[in-house]
Amino acid sequence: MAEIGGGGGRGDGAADKAREEFFSEAQELVDGLGRDLLALDEGLKRGSTDPELINDVFRAVHTLKGLSGLFGAARMTGLSHELEDVLDDLRLGRIELGPNVLDLLFQAVELYARILAAEKGAQPEPAAEVEALLVALGQVSQHRAGGGAGLVAQYDLDPGLLGVLTEYEEHRLRTNITAGLALYRIRVRFALATIDSALDDLKAKTRPHGEIITYLPTGSGADIETI
């Protein structure tokens, strides 16, 4: 594991706390991954794939990659790196989610749990199994297809809005345009104190009608009450 502090002061205790936090957060993320994959599996059996769920899985692996890198858990970083590539292809529509890919993702969850146990010194690292999975994941990424990158540019959209879209959000915008869906810009005023729950309400109300691509907060930044 990497050394964080070293200069003394309040940082020493904080470094120990950070390492403990890493183990518990990584475990939570791996548990959540398992649940999300089960939900994806159920969806697949019904013939549907929830893009939001795939994005959640991507974000969990993305976080695990960043964290394992920070805390020096190299094998977890290596596995996350390859997984992230596959999940990025999945969420950006470059590959399809099928039973084979899902099976590899389930294997990854199991290996994450074993790597974590190894990091805590409880058992040896599953080196050979991780290597075998990395090879299989690498083969999945070779079958990716290209996206229709120029499509969004054909619409008269506010450049200020396009400038804050992440690559994933831009892909979702493109996918919805391709599907022939209309685009709407909704302006809402929220109290900052309750914005989380208010936004959850808004999401629940809009979900049957479409997908929220992005949020563009406006305000002075000095107003403590509303945005």
Residues lying near another protein in the complex (CB under 8 A): 2-12, 14-15, 17-18, 21-22, 24-26, 59, 62-63, 65-71, 77, 84-85, 88, 160, 163-167, 169, 192-193, 195-196, 199, 214-224, 227
Q: Alpha-carbon distance 117 to 112, whole Å?
A: 9
* Nearest approach, Cβ of residue 45 and another protein (Å): 27
Distance between CA atoms of 23 and 174, rounded to whole angstroms? Answer: 38
Tokens of 146: 């290209």
CB of residue 82 to another protein, shortest distance in Å? 11
Question: Would you say 7 or 180 has its CB closer to another protein?
Answer: 7
Question: Which is nearer to another protein, 113 or 227 (by Cβ)?
Answer: 227
Q: How far is the CB of 42 from another protein (least distance, A)?
A: 22
Nearer to another protein, 70 or 113 (CB): 70
Output the smallest distance, CB 20 to another protein, in A.
Answer: 9
> What residues have CB less than 8 Å from 106, skipping those under 6 apart?
34, 37
Q: Which of 34, 89, 78, 74 is CA-nearest to residue 57?
A: 34
**Which value, to the nearest 10 degrees, does the dihedral of the CA atoms of residues 43, 135, 168, 220 take?**
120
Under 8 Å CB-to-CB from 37, ≥6 apart: which residues?
Answer: 57, 102, 105, 106, 109
- The residue among 44 and 199 lying less far from another protein, judged by its C-beta, is 199
Smallest distance, another protein to C-beta of residue 195, A: 5
Residue whose token pair is 């993305």:
62
Given the complex with another protein, which of 16 and 103 has the nearer CB atom? 16
* Closest to another protein by CB, 10 or 45: 10
Contact 156, 128 (CB under 8 A): no
Specify the DSSP element, H or E, that contains 7: none
> Cβ 154 to another protein, closest distance in Å?
20
Do the Cβ atoms of 101 and 44 come closer than 8 Å? Answer: no
